[in-house]
Amino acid sequence: MNALFVNACVRDGSRTKRLCDAYMRKYWLGRGVDAQELEICKEPLVPLDEEGLFRRDNDIASGALSGEDYRLARGFAKADEILIGAPYWDCSFPAVLKVYLERVCVNGIAFRYGEDGRPVKLCAAKRLVYITTAGGYLPAENSLELYLRELCGLFCIPELRFIKAEGLDIRGNDPDELLREAIEGI
Ligand SMILES: Cc1cc2nc3c(=O)[nH]c(=O)nc-3n(C[C@H](O)[C@H](O)[C@H](O)COP(=O)(O)O)c2cc1C
Protein backbone atom coordinates (compact mmCIF):
# COMPACT_ATOMS: atom_id res chain seq x y z
CA MET A 1 0.00 0.00 0.00
CA ASN A 2 1.19 3.52 -0.81
CA ALA A 3 0.48 6.05 1.91
CA LEU A 4 0.97 9.79 2.03
CA PHE A 5 1.33 11.87 5.18
CA VAL A 6 0.56 15.50 4.43
CA ASN A 7 2.25 17.23 7.34
CA ALA A 8 0.78 20.69 7.93
CA CYS A 9 1.78 20.75 11.58
CA VAL A 10 3.67 24.08 11.26
CA ARG A 11 5.43 24.28 14.62
CA ASP A 12 8.13 22.34 16.39
CA GLY A 13 6.74 20.15 19.17
CA SER A 14 3.31 20.10 17.51
CA ARG A 15 0.75 18.09 19.46
CA THR A 16 -1.12 17.36 16.22
CA LYS A 17 2.09 15.77 14.91
CA ARG A 18 2.23 13.56 18.02
CA LEU A 19 -1.25 12.25 17.18
CA CYS A 20 -0.22 11.70 13.55
CA ASP A 21 2.88 9.78 14.67
CA ALA A 22 0.69 7.56 16.85
CA TYR A 23 -1.63 6.87 13.90
CA MET A 24 1.26 5.97 11.60
CA ARG A 25 2.84 3.75 14.28
CA LYS A 26 -0.44 1.86 14.68
CA TYR A 27 -1.54 1.51 11.04
CA TRP A 28 1.51 1.94 8.82
CA LEU A 29 4.71 0.95 10.60
CA GLY A 30 5.77 -2.66 10.10
CA ARG A 31 2.78 -3.40 7.87
CA GLY A 32 4.51 -3.18 4.50
CA VAL A 33 3.17 0.32 3.91
CA ASP A 34 5.27 2.47 1.62
CA ALA A 35 4.79 5.82 3.38
CA GLN A 36 5.90 9.22 2.13
CA GLU A 37 5.87 12.34 4.26
CA LEU A 38 5.25 15.69 2.62
CA GLU A 39 6.17 18.65 4.83
CA ILE A 40 4.05 21.25 3.12
CA CYS A 41 5.57 24.13 5.08
CA LYS A 42 8.81 23.41 3.19
CA GLU A 43 7.14 23.42 -0.23
CA PRO A 44 7.20 26.54 -2.43
CA LEU A 45 3.41 26.93 -2.22
CA VAL A 46 1.76 30.10 -3.46
CA PRO A 47 -1.96 30.65 -4.06
CA LEU A 48 -3.12 30.50 -7.67
CA ASP A 49 -3.23 33.92 -9.30
CA GLU A 50 -4.77 34.88 -12.66
CA GLU A 51 -1.64 34.01 -14.64
CA GLY A 52 -1.24 30.66 -12.86
CA LEU A 53 -4.89 29.82 -13.40
CA PHE A 54 -4.62 30.63 -17.11
CA ARG A 55 -1.50 28.45 -17.45
CA ARG A 56 -3.16 25.61 -15.56
CA ASP A 57 -6.33 25.78 -17.69
CA ASN A 58 -4.17 25.52 -20.81
CA ASP A 59 -2.21 22.59 -19.37
CA ILE A 60 -5.44 20.79 -18.44
CA ALA A 61 -6.86 21.39 -21.92
CA SER A 62 -3.71 20.03 -23.61
CA GLY A 63 -3.10 17.26 -21.03
CA ALA A 64 0.36 18.65 -20.21
CA LEU A 65 0.26 17.62 -16.56
CA SER A 66 3.67 15.99 -16.10
CA GLY A 67 5.56 19.12 -15.02
CA GLU A 68 6.72 20.34 -11.61
CA ASP A 69 3.54 22.43 -11.16
CA TYR A 70 1.58 19.18 -10.84
CA ARG A 71 4.02 17.11 -8.73
CA LEU A 72 1.96 17.48 -5.57
CA ALA A 73 -1.27 16.54 -7.33
CA ARG A 74 0.37 13.43 -8.83
CA GLY A 75 1.73 12.43 -5.39
CA PHE A 76 -1.74 12.80 -3.89
CA ALA A 77 -3.35 10.80 -6.71
CA LYS A 78 -1.17 7.71 -6.32
CA ALA A 79 -1.60 7.23 -2.55
CA ASP A 80 -3.95 4.48 -1.39
CA GLU A 81 -4.37 6.21 1.96
CA ILE A 82 -3.84 9.85 2.80
CA LEU A 83 -3.26 11.23 6.28
CA ILE A 84 -3.52 14.98 6.68
CA GLY A 85 -2.32 16.41 9.98
CA ALA A 86 -3.08 20.06 10.73
CA PRO A 87 -3.73 22.07 13.90
CA TYR A 88 -7.14 23.70 14.30
CA TRP A 89 -6.53 27.32 13.40
CA ASP A 90 -9.16 30.03 13.13
CA CYS A 91 -11.99 27.49 12.92
CA SER A 92 -10.25 25.48 10.19
CA PHE A 93 -6.54 24.94 9.45
CA PRO A 94 -3.37 26.84 8.46
CA ALA A 95 -3.63 28.62 5.10
CA VAL A 96 -0.67 26.63 3.73
CA LEU A 97 -2.91 23.54 3.72
CA LYS A 98 -5.57 25.33 1.66
CA VAL A 99 -2.91 26.33 -0.87
CA TYR A 100 -1.68 22.72 -0.98
CA LEU A 101 -5.23 21.49 -1.63
CA GLU A 102 -5.64 24.12 -4.33
CA ARG A 103 -2.57 22.63 -6.04
CA VAL A 104 -3.94 19.12 -5.65
CA CYS A 105 -7.42 19.84 -7.04
CA VAL A 106 -6.40 19.64 -10.69
CA ASN A 107 -9.05 18.38 -13.09
CA GLY A 108 -7.35 15.42 -14.80
CA ILE A 109 -4.98 14.20 -12.06
CA ALA A 110 -6.70 13.02 -8.86
CA PHE A 111 -10.17 13.41 -10.34
CA ARG A 112 -11.76 14.65 -13.53
CA TYR A 113 -15.14 16.05 -14.39
CA GLY A 114 -17.34 13.68 -16.38
CA GLU A 115 -19.60 14.62 -19.30
CA ASP A 116 -22.37 15.44 -16.83
CA GLY A 117 -20.12 17.76 -14.80
CA ARG A 118 -19.87 15.35 -11.88
CA PRO A 119 -16.48 14.29 -10.52
CA VAL A 120 -15.00 10.98 -11.63
CA LYS A 121 -12.38 9.24 -9.47
CA LEU A 122 -8.82 9.14 -10.78
CA CYS A 123 -6.97 8.84 -7.47
CA ALA A 124 -6.13 5.59 -5.70
CA ALA A 125 -7.18 6.65 -2.21
CA LYS A 126 -9.69 4.52 -0.37
CA ARG A 127 -9.45 6.49 2.85
CA LEU A 128 -8.68 10.03 3.93
CA VAL A 129 -7.64 10.41 7.55
CA TYR A 130 -7.63 13.91 9.01
CA ILE A 131 -6.02 14.58 12.37
CA THR A 132 -6.26 17.82 14.28
CA THR A 133 -5.88 19.22 17.78
CA ALA A 134 -7.74 22.23 19.08
CA GLY A 135 -7.19 24.64 21.94
CA GLY A 136 -10.94 24.81 22.51
CA TYR A 137 -13.83 22.65 21.33
CA LEU A 138 -15.17 22.20 17.81
CA PRO A 139 -18.92 22.69 17.49
CA ALA A 140 -20.76 19.38 16.89
CA GLU A 141 -21.76 20.72 13.46
CA ASN A 142 -18.44 22.18 12.39
CA SER A 143 -17.58 23.45 8.94
CA LEU A 144 -14.22 21.64 8.94
CA GLU A 145 -15.74 18.16 8.89
CA LEU A 146 -18.31 19.32 6.35
CA TYR A 147 -15.53 20.67 4.14
CA LEU A 148 -13.56 17.41 4.40
CA ARG A 149 -16.64 15.38 3.46
CA GLU A 150 -17.13 17.60 0.44
CA LEU A 151 -13.47 17.21 -0.50
CA CYS A 152 -13.81 13.40 -0.31
CA GLY A 153 -16.83 13.78 -2.61
CA LEU A 154 -14.73 15.67 -5.14
CA PHE A 155 -11.99 13.02 -5.10
CA CYS A 156 -14.56 10.21 -4.76
CA ILE A 157 -12.70 8.90 -1.69
CA PRO A 158 -15.19 6.56 0.01
CA GLU A 159 -14.00 6.81 3.63
CA LEU A 160 -13.20 9.78 5.83
CA ARG A 161 -11.78 9.35 9.33
CA PHE A 162 -11.72 12.47 11.46
CA ILE A 163 -9.57 12.22 14.57
CA LYS A 164 -9.27 15.07 17.05
CA ALA A 165 -8.06 16.05 20.48
CA GLU A 166 -9.83 19.08 21.90
CA GLY A 167 -9.68 21.48 24.81
CA LEU A 168 -5.88 21.39 24.97
CA ASP A 169 -5.58 25.08 25.84
CA ILE A 170 -8.49 25.27 28.29
CA ARG A 171 -7.28 26.26 31.75
CA GLY A 172 -7.57 23.34 34.16
CA ASN A 173 -7.33 20.73 31.40
CA ASP A 174 -4.31 18.45 31.21
CA PRO A 175 -3.22 18.51 27.55
CA ASP A 176 -0.93 15.48 27.92
CA GLU A 177 -3.76 13.42 29.39
CA LEU A 178 -6.16 14.59 26.63
CA LEU A 179 -3.59 13.63 24.01
CA ARG A 180 -3.05 10.25 25.67
CA GLU A 181 -6.80 9.59 25.55
CA ALA A 182 -6.96 10.63 21.90
CA ILE A 183 -4.02 8.34 21.06
CA GLU A 184 -5.77 5.44 22.83
CA GLY A 185 -8.87 6.11 20.73
CA ILE A 186 -7.05 5.97 17.40
C1 LIG B 1 -2.91 30.85 14.71
C2 LIG B 1 -3.70 30.00 15.68
C3 LIG B 1 -5.09 29.93 15.55
C4 LIG B 1 -5.84 29.14 16.44
N5 LIG B 1 -7.20 29.08 16.30
C6 LIG B 1 -7.92 28.31 17.13
C7 LIG B 1 -9.35 28.22 16.99
O8 LIG B 1 -9.96 28.82 16.12
N9 LIG B 1 -10.02 27.41 17.86
C10 LIG B 1 -9.39 26.70 18.83
O11 LIG B 1 -10.06 25.96 19.57
N12 LIG B 1 -8.04 26.76 18.99
C13 LIG B 1 -7.30 27.55 18.17
N14 LIG B 1 -5.93 27.61 18.31
C15 LIG B 1 -5.28 26.76 19.30
C16 LIG B 1 -4.75 25.47 18.64
O17 LIG B 1 -5.81 24.80 17.98
C18 LIG B 1 -4.15 24.48 19.65
O19 LIG B 1 -3.20 25.08 20.46
C20 LIG B 1 -3.56 23.27 18.91
O21 LIG B 1 -3.39 22.19 19.80
C22 LIG B 1 -2.23 23.62 18.26
O23 LIG B 1 -1.73 22.48 17.61
P24 LIG B 1 -0.17 22.13 17.53
O25 LIG B 1 0.30 21.80 18.92
O26 LIG B 1 -0.14 20.94 16.63
O27 LIG B 1 0.50 23.33 16.95
C28 LIG B 1 -5.18 28.41 17.46
C29 LIG B 1 -3.78 28.48 17.57
C30 LIG B 1 -3.04 29.26 16.69
C31 LIG B 1 -1.54 29.32 16.85
| pLDDT of res. 80 | 98
From the list 44, 147, 61, the residue with the least C-alpha distance to 103 is 44
How far apart are alpha carbons 48 and 38 in whole angstroms?
20
Please tell me the predicted confidence (pLDDT) of residue 109.
Answer: 98
pLDDT at 42: 97
Q: CA 155 to CA 34: how far, in whole Å? A: 21
CATH architecture designation of domain 2-184: 3-Layer(aba) Sandwich (3.40)
Look at residue 78 in the predicted model and tell me its pLDDT. Answer: 98
Q: Is the pTM of this model over 0.85?
A: yes
Which atom number of ligand 1 is nearest to the Cα of residue 138?
11
Nearest 5°: the CA angle 55, 59, 63 is 175
Question: Residue 63 region, left (φ>0) first, then alpha (ψ -120 to 50), else beta?
Answer: left
CA of 8 to the centre of ligand 1 (A): 13
**Ligand 1 geometric centre to CA of 147 (Å):** 18
What is the per-residue pLDDT for 163?
98
Looking at residue 40, its pLDDT comes to 98
Q: Mapping DSSP to helix (H, G, I), strand (E, B) and coil, where does residue 46 land?
A: coil
CA–CA dist 70, 121 (Å, integer): 17
The pLDDT profile of the chain, 186 residues, written as one tens digit per residue, is 999 999 999 999 999 999 999 999 999 999 999 999 999 999 999 999 999 999 999 999 999 999 999 999 999 999 999 999 999 999 999 999 999 999 999 999 999 999 999 999 999 999 999 999 999 999 999 999 999 999 999 999 999 999 999 999 999 999 999 999 999 999
User: What local confidence, expressed as pLDDT, does residue 148 receive?
Assistant: 98
Task: Give the residue among 87, 83, 91 at the shortest CA–CA distance from 38.
Answer: 83
Q: How far is the CA of 19 from the centre of ligand 1 (A)?
A: 15
